[in-house]
Amino acid sequence: MRILVTGGAGFIGSHLCRRLLADGHEVLSADNYFTGSRKNIHDLLANPNFEALRHDITFPLHVEVDQIYNFACPASPVHYQYDPVQTTKTSVHGAINMLGLAKRTGARILQASTSEVYGDPEIHPQTEDYWGRVNPIGPRSCYDEGKRCAETLFFDYYRQHKLDIKVVRIFNTYGPGMQLHDGRVISNFIVQALHGEDITLYGDGSQTRSFCYVSDLVDGVVRMMQSGPGFTGPVNLGNPSEYTIAQLAETIIRLCGSRSKLAFKPLPEDDPRQRQPDIGLARKNLEWWPSIPLEDGLRETIAYFRRLLDTPPNTAKGANR
């Protein structure tokens, strides 16, 4: 099939492009390179089945495709709060444009939504039938509410125009290909540990997250796209193993062989206290669950960042010798 991946030069998008090419498809990546990078897809550019297009999905796109994976949107607080109006436009106008494209071409379309639609949840773990607890006017709202509105649009197109839709809610994902300074907790901690700097924790470190390795996540996304037409989602995709932020920091310090210490700062506004997916729906309908343990995934991710920083094992500033 000919498949469009918006945000195809981003962290998850580039991994998804590789998977789809390996599965024998023709892949068109559309990315405005605000947070994505051509470096992420450099190894794909010579592939005759791959095409890279610089495009902002807040403007219509006229191509012929069989499937659309809509992944275009900044996903870390540092990036989505940099230009919050544009973040909302990307989620809302972008969804409208991609849904319009799917309607015209008859393509199946998948929306990469987020666990942030649950906000600071009152139930734990989070199930797909939970409506969430989101501040509509806070500093994170551009992302949280933008993604919630995108889900609304997808289901309205499904009901009104009988569009073939799929919606996944992605929980924290990590792995090789993350940016050095993207503001996500795992990349922040690894870079600080490799430099021997203090590890910055917000709050007391007791807030929890669940971390899914990128290859596991991509497999779940592809399974969702391939699932039967009667299953629209939304479906949670993430690793149900839950860790406190302090546990994560200590694990990264140990795996990096670093002497970094923990440094605590005030908790940002609207930062969720707990985040853990209930993946029962994905297990039942997609026969999907993560297979990569956290420490195994962290070792691969640390090795990737060492290559970026040109920092050999156990010789980083402040590392154990």
Select from 221, 286, 293 the least CA-distant residue to 5: 221
Is 157 catalytic? The answer is no
pTM of the entire predicted model: 0.92
Q: Give backbone dihedrals phi and psi of 97, rounded to 5 degrees, phi first.
A: -65, -40
Distances, alpha carbon 44 to alpha carbons 39, 118, 138, 255, in Å: 10, 35, 39, 31
Q: Which residues, in sequence order, are CB contacts of 309 under 8 Å at separation 6+?
A: 180, 191, 194, 195
CB–CB of 260/192 below 8 Å? Answer: yes
For the domain spanning 2-174+213-237, the CATH number is 3.40.50.720
Q: DSSP string of 258-274?
A: B---EEEEPPPTT--S-
The catalytic residue among 69, 118, 143, 157 is 143
pLDDT reported for residue 204: 87
pLDDT reported for residue 239: 95
- pLDDT tens figures, 6-26: 999 999 999 999 999 999 999
- pLDDT tens figures, 271-316: 677 788 999 999 999 999 999 999 999 999 999 999 999 855 554 4
Residue 76 has a CB neighbour count (10 Å cut-off) of 20
- pLDDT tens figures, 242-262: 999 999 999 999 999 999 999
pLDDT reported for residue 316: 43
- pLDDT tens figures, 154-188: 999 999 999 999 999 999 999 999 988 888 899 99
Q: Where are the domains of the chain?
A: 2-174+213-237
- Using the predicted structure, report yes or no on whether residue 91 has a pLDDT greater than 70: yes
- Using the predicted structure, report yes or no on whether residue 319 has a pLDDT greater than 60: no
